[in-house]
Each structure stands twice: as structure tokens, then as C-alpha cells.
Amino acid sequence: MKGHESKMPRMEDILNLPVQDPPCTEFSAADIKWNVLLVSVLSQGGRDLKEVSANQGSMDILSIHYTGVHMVLKITEIVSLVLGMSQISNLPQGREADQDAVGTRAMYAPRISEELRQKVMSMLYVGISLDNIIQHHMEVVQEHGGPHNRDDFLTRNDVRNIERVIRNTSHELHIDDECSVKVWVQRHQKHVFYFQDASGSEPFLLGIQTDWQLQQMLHYGHNGSITSHSTFGSKKLKYPLSTLLVFDSSQNAIPIAWVITSSLIGQDSHKWIGSLAERIRTKDPRWRLNAFLVDDPSFGISVVRDAFQCRVLLCVWHVRRSWIRNLLKKCCNIDVQREMFKHLGWILYSSRSGPNVMDAVEEFLEIFVDQSAFMDYFKSRWLPYMEMWVGGIRSLPVVGPEPHAAIESYHLRLKYKLFKEQHANFWPRIDWLIHSLTTEFHSLYWLDQYTIETGYLPNIRDESFSSNAWYQALHIPDVDVILDEQNLQLAKVISQTDRNLAYAIWNPGSEFSLCDCHLSSQGNLCKHVIKVAMICKNRQVARPLLAAQIYRQTLLSLLHNPPDDPVVLDHAISSATRLQQDIKGLEDLSNSGLLQQLPSEINSQIADNALFFARSH
């Protein structure tokens, strides 16, 4: 250890150097008094130089040692900062300090902190140049009052070293993919919250969460919601990818964990859900989740409830996107597309209080029997699972269309980054998928949040993050929505760029709405559909007001005519209290834009059922 320290430039040696004051800002070698100590110190600081005596000073030495001379000229400023620094107090709240980059040890730290290293690495992955990284870092340091620790003295060599690491890093850590994944897991233990290698009857299962993703889960997930985006790439990747997402202040979906498994996502969810919940509560025992959105009814609902102690909602985004995109491909008539899409939504929702699901499906098949291309797709892909989806909708509240837009934006960005044709040879390898997610793709989201939180680098931010239909819908004025509450078959939204143009929305207020704008015609959710859905909810156009009134009347009737049996009475009051609390929680979710209102036809049926219930008591 002593031998190592003797090779490092000691702060005492630097402080003992005489401070020179050249006569002007532009000076030559003749204006500087040269000595052996200065060159020796600089040489030991990492430059391969020979000691030079005082009479050997020249312009060559001046140009070589300009950085060192500049350091000597600034020595008094550095001394004052070092003597008066207080690094720990300047750390963001909740962040742990890198012990090699703060305090007295920072004077001699040979490397930057892991936090800064990850920051620089992310900036390099998104294409920010070395010069821009250094310039940005200097601006940040100056805004914080000047240098305080080793991180504040980030050098070009530090950035080049990280650049070299990125350039020399390969996803292929072993020629065999399975072995390569094991090597990655061994090297990144703190980023793996669950790993199970495929063996016998046990499927492959890998859960990944970086430190930054954990911080986003802590920040946006607390008293918020998490949604699953499952089975991505099932046709191209070796194993499908599932992502857990949170929503930020701009309604963007941020990936806070990735799960890669060779089995169905719901089949082994009990193995990794608990590990993830334990990981977050170990970090913050006070952390609480408000709602968990599942996009597959086979997902372990009870496992989620037990692990996170929260409400579980069903998200039908995958169903909607698959149906509308195949309708656009296989059906050429626009009017027929709209009618078929509306009927498909009715199949899901009518089963809550209407006919049997198979009866609704048979009716759908008879009405549109001439659309054979779509019917063949529907029968093979969806018919075997309709009972499962209808069962999920019967038992779980359904997510509104607003979060669908954020999920879709994430889906499209993931598809764009991973499924470029130049990567086609790598799709069968799991190690390539892991590497792609945890490097370049991860860095895109890091940069976006860094820009939002600090205001820095706005010109480098990926513009697609601001194209989220949910976020854009918030900027459409209510007065630009034309909605006839007496006829909810059609709504219109005035264009924000051409005031003479209005877009038509069919079946408004539902996630099965369609718009005639270009984005919607490609099978995507548009801001016009989202905005109309918001208006419908805010004006209570589709909310079950009558059912709510009857619910209150039923409770009042129960309180005015209590059962004679005290045990039954206690049970009734306890059940009513729990139900009231549950409804209040669902109202909170609805106000946040997460809960889907029921179609008006179903509301009337629920009201009729509630009236019958009230009269029979």
C-alpha cells in the first residue's frame, strides 16, 4: 500500500509548490520559473515524461504541461475549496455516497464514483460526444459552486476509459448462449433479483432490475401503479420479454424491471413477484403500491395481491391492439371495421350482465360471416382464450384507455430498438437481449428522466418521449371536443394545427374507440381518442350514476332495517364497510385516469339488476 501511495502525487507536495503570477493572461515559457518538482509531480500523475531541469524550459514543455501549469495557477482556489468542502451534504437525499469519491479520501481517489461512471456511460450510449460530456460536467460543477470531490474533477481520460470499456464490451461472453447468460448473471449479481436456469421440468427465468430502475420504482411506484407489458417478441426472440412499467409525471411508461422466461408469464409469477416486492421493501419499508395492472388474466392475481397488498386491475391493451391491427389488415371496408371492432368490445363486456360469452361470439360470427380472413384469425388465435378473458373482466376492474397510450409508446420504442434487421442474427440469443436492454435501451430512459429532473440537455432528448398520446391529450382544450351526450355514437375533436379540420371518433369513451386520423388508421391509440375518453369520464357521461344511487339506498335500507341476529348484523356491517372502502379506492383510481368506465348499455343493465336487488330486500 505504501509503495502504491508513493507513486501517487501527494496533496502536500502540490500545496508546497510556489504559486506564480504571470504578468498577463497570455504568457510564454520565459514568464514561468521551471523546476524539477513540478514536472516530477505531473509525471507521476499519469504522464510518461522525463524530469527536466530549470534551464531546459522551452515552448515544447509549456505546450505539453499546459494543463499542469493551469493547475498550479489555480492552486489557491483548489486549496480553499478542499479545506471548506462538505461533500456529504451535497449528495441527493436518499443516495449513498461512494466512499472512494468523498471526504479526505477524495483527494487521492484514483477513480470516479460508480454513480458518475454510470452517468457518463449512459451519455455515451445515447451518442453524446466526449467534448459535450466534459462541457456539460463543467457547467454542472460550476452551478453547484465549484469542485468538491473527485467526481467534480472528471477528466477526458476518465471518459475515454469508459468509452474504451463500451467499445470492447460484447454481449457474447461465451460462444454458448446459456453459458454466456450465466457469466452475465455472475458479473451483475446486484442487478438480478431472480434467476433460475433451465433444468429438467424447471423453465428458464431471469429477473433484471438495475439500481436506476430500482430508484424509479421507489419514486414513481410509491402510492402509484405498476403495469405489466408481457410476452413481447414471442415470434422473434428465443424467449418472450415481459416488462414492469411505472408512469412518470409526463405520463410516459418507464421500465423498472425486465423478466425473461421460457414459460408462460403467469405460470411462474409466484417465483419472482415475491422477490421483487421484498427487494423494494428492503430499500424502503414504507413503500406502498396503489394498483398493479395485469395484461394477461392468467397472471398470478392472488400472488400480486399477497406480495404488494394492492388492488389488481385488468389491462386489455394487448387485445385491443391485436384486434384492430388485424381488422385493418384483413378487412378493407372502413364502416365494417368499426362495426366489427365495436362488437368485439361488446363480446368482452356484455358477459358481465348479459348473455353467455359463447352466445355472443356465435352472434358475432354469424353477423360478419363474409369476413372470412379475420374470422379465421379470430378463431385460431382468440377463441380458445375468450372464456379466460371474459372471466378476468368479470372479476377485475378494467383499466381506462389513458394508460394504454403510455404502454403502446413503450411497446413501439422497444420494437424499434430491438427489431432492426441488422440485429436479426442475434434475436435467438438471450445474452444479446440482456445486453441490448441494460445498455443502450436503458440509457434512453435514463437520459429522459435526467432531462426532466434537472432541465439539462433538452436538445438531446428523444422527441418520441413527448409524443405519448396520453401526454398530448392533456394539452387539447376541452372546448375543442364536440360531444353530443344524447348520442354517444360519435364525437369530434378540432385539430390543433388546422382549425378548419375536425377528427371523428366512433364509439367514444371506450378503449374500443376509433378515430379517422392517420395514427389511428395504423392501429395505434391517438390523442383524440384519449381526450374524448377523458371528457366522457369528467362529465360522467358513462358512469353508473343510477347504480350508485341504488347502492346508497340499499345500504340505508339495511341500516334502517337491521337483521335481528347480532352475528349477521356484525357481518353485514363489516362487509358493507369493506365494500365502501373498495369503491372509494376505485374512485381514486378513476380520478387518476386508470379506471375504465363501463359502456352505457352495461350501466343500464347493472342499474336494472341493482333495482331488482333493492326491491327484493
Q: Which residues contact 139 (CB under 8 A, 6 or more apart)?
A: none
More confident residue, 162 or 350: 162
The answer, yes or no, to whether residue 359 has pLDDT greater than 50, is yes
> pLDDT band at 384, cuts 50/70/90?
very high
Instruction: Tell me how far apart the alpha carbons of residues 94 and 469 are, in angstroms, rounded to a whole number.
Output: 33
What is the arithmetic mean of pLDDT over 124-142? 94
The answer, yes or no, to whether residue 568 has pLDDT greater than 70, is no
Asked if residue 265 is part of any domain, the answer here is yes
Instruction: Tell me how far apart the alpha carbons of residues 211 and 218 are, in angstroms, rounded to a whole number.
Output: 11
Q: Label each residue of 101-114 as H, E or C.
A: CCCHHHHHCCCCCH
Asked if residue 307 is part of any domain, the answer here is yes
What is the share, in percent, of the chain residues with pLDDT greater than 70? 69
Are residue 294 and residue 189 in the same domain, yes or no?
yes
Q: Cell numbers at residue 386, please?
A: 375468450
What is the arithmetic mean of pLDDT over 199-215? 94
Asked if residue 175 is part of any domain, the answer here is no
> pLDDT band at 264, cuts 50/70/90?
confident
Give the model's pLDDT for residue 274.
94
> pLDDT band at 539, cuts 50/70/90?
confident
Are residue 196 and residue 255 in the same domain, yes or no?
yes
DSSP bridge partners of 398: 314
What strands lie across the sheet with 311-314, from one edge to the other?
A: 192-196, 205-208, 253-261, 241-247, 225-232, 291-294, 311-314
Give the model's pLDDT for residue 582.
66
What is the arithmetic mean of pLDDT over 48-76? 42
What is the arithmetic mean of pLDDT over 143-158? 91
Asked if residue 434 is part of any domain, the answer here is no
Instruction: Tell me how far apart the alpha carbons of residues 91 and 560 are, in angstroms, rounded to a whole number.
Output: 60
User: Is the distance from CB of 602 to CB of 543 less than 8 angstroms?
Assistant: no
Strand 225-232, strand 502-506: pairing: unpaired
Give the model's pLDDT for residue 351.
53
Least confident of 162-171, 387-396, 473-482: 387-396
Phi, psi of 321 (to 5 degrees): -65, -45
Domain count, the chain: 6
Asked if residue 148 is part of any domain, the answer here is yes
- Give 465-509 pLDDT, tens digit per residue: 777 898 899 999 999 999 887 777 899 999 999 999 999 999 888
Asked if residue 448 is part of any domain, the answer here is no
Closest among 395, 362, 400, 396 to 378, alpha carbons compared: 362
Residue 139 CB neighbour total at 10 angstroms: 11
The answer, yes or no, to whether residue 353 has pLDDT greater than 60, is no
Last residue in a domain, options 31, 59, 79? 79
What is the share, in percent, of the chain residues with pLDDT greater than 90? 52
Asked if residue 270 is part of any domain, the answer here is yes
Are residue 289 and residue 410 in the same domain, yes or no?
yes
The answer, yes or no, to whether residue 354 has pLDDT greater than 60, is no
Instruction: Tell me how far apart the alpha carbons of residues 29 and 57 are, in angstroms, rounded to a whole number.
Output: 7
Give the model's pLDDT for residue 549.
39
Are residue 391 and residue 406 in the same domain, yes or no?
no
Give the model's pLDDT for residue 461.
82
User: Is the distance from CB of 595 to CB of 313 less than 8 angstroms?
Assistant: yes
Are residue 299 and residue 230 in the same domain, yes or no?
yes
Give the model's pLDDT for residue 63.
40
CATH code (residue 232):
3.30.420
The answer, yes or no, to whether residue 420 has pLDDT greater than 90, is yes
Tell me how far CA of residue 170 lies from CA of 180, 184, 433, 435, 587, in angstroms: 11, 11, 12, 8, 49
> pLDDT band at 537, cuts 50/70/90?
confident
The answer, yes or no, to whether residue 369 has pLDDT greater than 50, is yes
Taking the mean position of all CA atoms in its chain, how far away is CA 168? 28
For residue 62, count CB atoms less than 10 angstroms from its CB and return exposed for 0-12, middle for 13-18, buried for 19 or more.
middle
Phi, psi of 419 (to 5 degrees): -105, 40
Are residue 285 and residue 409 in the same domain, yes or no?
yes
Asked if residue 464 is part of any domain, the answer here is no
The answer, yes or no, to whether residue 572 has pLDDT greater than 80, is no
Work out the mean pLDDT of the chain and round it to a whole number.
79
What is the arithmetic mean of pLDDT over 521-536? 91
> pLDDT band at 288, cuts 50/70/90?
very high
What is the arithmetic mean of pLDDT over 351-373? 82
Are residue 303 and residue 411 in the same domain, yes or no?
yes
- Give 306-332 pLDDT, tens digit per residue: 999 999 999 999 999 999 999 999 999
What is the arithmetic mean of pLDDT over 334-343? 93
Are residue 405 and residue 284 in the same domain, yes or no?
yes
Last residue in a domain, options 374, 395, 416? 395
Instruction: Tell me how far apart the alpha carbons of residues 438 and 176 are, in angstroms, rounded to a whole number.
Output: 20
> pLDDT band at 74, cuts 50/70/90?
very low
Give the model's pLDDT for residue 565.
66
Phi, psi of 224 (to 5 degrees): -120, -150
Whole-model pTM: value is 0.74
Last residue in a domain, options 46, 79, 112? 79
Are residue 189 and residue 268 in the same domain, yes or no?
yes
Closest among 14, 30, 11 to 72, alpha carbons compared: 14
User: Is the distance from CB of 437 to CB of 258 less than 8 angstroms?
Assistant: yes
Give the model's pLDDT for residue 245.
98
Are residue 504 and residue 517 in the same domain, yes or no?
yes
DSSP bridge partners of 399: 595
C-alpha torsion sign, points 205, 209, 214, 218 = negative
User: What DSSP string describes 344-366?
Assistant: HHHHHHHTTTSS-HHHHHHHHHH
More confident residue, 12 or 514: 514
Give the model's pLDDT for residue 616.
38
Q: Which residues contact 128 (CB under 8 A, 6 or more apart)?
A: 136, 457, 460
Instruction: Tell me how far apart the alpha carbons of residues 379 and 369 are, in angstroms, rounded to a whole number.
Output: 12
User: Is the distance from CB of 493 to CB of 502 less than 8 angstroms?
Assistant: yes
Give the model's pLDDT for residue 360.
86
Amino acid at position 302, single letter: S
Amino acid at position 312, single letter: V
Give the model's pLDDT for residue 77.
41
The answer, yes or no, to whether residue 7 has pLDDT greater than 50, is no
Strand 192-196, strand 241-247: pairing: unpaired
What stretch of H or E contains 228? strand 225-232
Return left, alpha or beta for 32; rule: phi > 0 is left, psi -120 to 50 is alpha, else beta.
beta
Are residue 104 and residue 75 in the same domain, yes or no?
no
Strand 225-232, strand 241-247: pairing: antiparallel
Give me the helices (H) in 65-113, please: 66-73, 75-83
Phi, psi of 501 (to 5 degrees): -110, 135
Are residue 201 and residue 310 in the same domain, yes or no?
yes
Give the model's pLDDT for residue 195.
97
What stretch of H or E contains 483? strand 481-483
| Structural domain boundaries, residue 73 | 2-79
What is the arithmetic mean of pLDDT over 115-123? 94
Give the model's pLDDT for residue 366.
94
